[in-house]
Amino acid sequence: MEYAMPMSFFRPRPSGGPLAGLDQSSSISGTESLPGAVRASFEPIPFRPRGPYPYRLDLEDILGAQAVNQITGSGRLVFHVAGDTGGVKSPEAQTLVAQGMERSFANNLKPASFFYHLGDVVYYSGEVGRYFDQFYDPYEHYPAPIFAIAGNHDGATSLGNDRSLEGFERNFCAEVGTYTKEAMDTQRMAMCQPYVYWALDSPFAYFIGLYTNVPEGGQIDSDQRRWFRDQLSQAPTDKALILTMHHPVFSFDIYHSGSPVMARELVDAVNYSRRVPNLILTAHVHNFQRIEKTTGTKTIPFLVIGNGGYWHLHALSAEPGHRDSETGVSLVAGIDDRHGFVTLEVTSERIDGFFTTVPRAQESWAHSEQYKRADAFSYDARPIRLASGEMLRLQS
C-alpha cells in the first residue's frame, strides 16, 4: 500500500469540501456574532508546564485506584465527548447537553468515568470571568471529572485585553486540590492537567491531546510537534490510541471545512512514528460528523463533535454517504440541526460509540426520545501500525 501525501494535497479547495478552509489571515471562527475584535494569529503558550515532560496524567491519579480497578475489572472504559460548548448569548443548548449527559448516569448501567471536552470551553476569548456561567454552572451536577483540550476561542485574546489561555490554565492546569474563585459555590475542583497539550493514560485507551492554537485551520509549534511524534512513538502497544485536537482534519460543512495544516502534521507524525490512531476526535465545526478514510485494510475514523452547546450550528455541505473524490474520505453520518454529545465505550478489542441528540429549548425530553441515539458505530481498538515500507496519506 502506498500512503505518501503529494504536495497538491495542500492546494486550496472550493468552499464546502472536506479540506477547504478559510485563509489564515481571516477572522477567528465564531466571530459572526462577536461585537469586539479578537486576534486570529498564532498565540505562544504563555505558561510553563505544571508537570514534567512528557506531560502525562494517569486516570488513577484523578479517580483513585479503586475506581480504575473497577474499570479494568469491567473490561470497558466509558466516557462522554463534546466540544464547542460555551453557552454565550443563548445558554439553553449548553444546559440541555449537560442535562443529557447527566441523564445518562441514571439511565445507563455503564456510567461514564469522565467527560473529555474538545475545546472552546468559554466564548469568545477564554475570559476568566465567564468560566462560572459557561463551565462551572452548566456542569454543576455532572458527577464525573472533566478533562479538556483548549480550542481557538480558549486561546484567543480580545485586542488589548486578557492573556491567551489564562482561563484555561487557571481551571484546567491548576495545582492538585485547587478551587478557583470562578467555581464559586459549585464544589467542582479545577483540573490538574500537566500542560495545555498533554496525554491521558487510562485502562484500554491512551489519549494524545493537541493544542491547535488560534489561527483558522490550526497551528502547532516545533516543541509540540516533537512531543506529538514522541507520544505516537511511545504510546502503549496494548490499548487503543485516541488522538484529540480542536481543529478537524476533515469536515463537510459550509463554514469552516477541514484543515490541510493539521492533515500535514498528522501525516508527518504517523509516518515518523509508524503508529496510527484508532480514533481521531475533533470539534470547531458546530455540528456532528463521522468521517471515514479507508486505505487498503485500514479504516481511520474522524469524528467532529462541535455541537456541544454553542448556539450557532453549522450546516453540512454534503449528505451522509457522500465520498469526496480528491481525498477519498466519506461522510458516513452527519447531524447539523441538533445539539448533543458522544458516548464512547472502549474495550481491549472494540471502540463502540453513539451520538445522542438533546431536545431543543421548546421541546420536552419525552419529545426527544426519537433522536437519542442518532448515530451508532464500532471500530477496532487493537493497536494499528504501518507495515514496513508503508507511508500514510490522506488523499486518494
> How many structural domains is the chain composed of?
1
Give the model's pLDDT for residue 362: 85
Determine whether 2 is exposed, middle or buried from the number of CB atoms within 10 Å of its CB (0-12, 13-18, 19+).
exposed
Look at residue 396 and tell me if it is in a domain: no
Q: Is residue 43 part of a domain?
A: no
Is residue 158 a part of any domain in this protein?
Answer: yes
pLDDT tens, residue by residue, 272-323 = 999 999 999 999 999 999 999 987 778 999 999 999 999 999 999 999 999 9
Does residue 365 sit within a domain? yes
C-alpha cell at 56: 502525562
pLDDT digits (tens, 9 = 90+) for 20-43: 543 332 323 333 344 445 567 999
CB-based burial of residue 143 (10 Å sphere; 0-12 exposed, 13-18 middle, 19+ buried)? exposed
- Full-model pTM: 0.92
User: Would 213 be classed as within a structural domain?
Assistant: yes
- In this structure, is residue 223 part of a structural domain? yes
pLDDT of residue 8: 26
| 45: in domain | no
Nearest-angstrom CA–CA distance, 345 and 352 = 5
Q: List own/partner pairs for 177-180 with CB under 8 A and 24 or more apart.
A: 180/131
Task: Kindly tell me the number of DSSP H helices and DSSP E strands found in the chain.
Answer: 8, 16
Q: What pLDDT digit, counting tens, does each position of 106-141 carry? A: 876 689 999 999 999 999 999 999 999 999 999 999
Q: Residue 308: give its domain's CATH number.
A: 3.60.21.10
The whole domain housing 82 covers: 54-385
Rounded to whole angstroms, the Cα distance separating 375 from 377 reads: 7
Q: Is there a domain that residue 8 lies in?
A: no
